[in-house]
Amino acid sequence: MLVTTANDLAGYRIVQHLGVVRGITVRSRSVVGNFLGSVAAFFGGRISVYVTLAENARNEAFQHMVEHAEQGRANAIIAMRYDANEIMPGITEVLAYGSAVVVEKL
């Protein structure tokens, strides 16, 4: 699966637009994660427990988006984006979305 944030793929021609695809996940921080994050924030610098949480959430949403595109017989996703919203304190939704397309090599 080819995925790009651009609106086209260099070296490929879009032959069919299949519509918007998305992948979503909802994650929460654990009590231990919040405690470790608070300690790290007190000293400043990179807060690795939150970086790991964010990376895992984005990866999961991305994988769901790719699966959604594959189910629709797409071989590429263009204009891919991420979005995140806090649903309530400590619970965050991460969305990956883009346009599913069929491309062929030029």
Residue 42 is predicted with a pLDDT of 54
Query: How many domains are contained in the chain?
Result: 1
CA distances from 24 to 47, 76, 102 (A): 24, 18, 22
* CATH number of the domain to which 86 belongs: 3.30.110.70
pLDDT(43) > 90: no
Residue 15 is predicted with a pLDDT of 98
* Residue predicted with more confidence, 78 or 49: 78
Residues with Cβ within 8 Å of residue 67, at least 6 apart in sequence: 23
Provide the whole-model pTM: 0.83
Contact 78, 106 (CB under 8 A): no
Domain that holds residue 14: 2-105
Residue 77 is predicted with a pLDDT of 98
Tens of pLDDT along 70-101?
999 999 999 999 999 988 887 889 999 999 99
Average pLDDT along the chain: 86
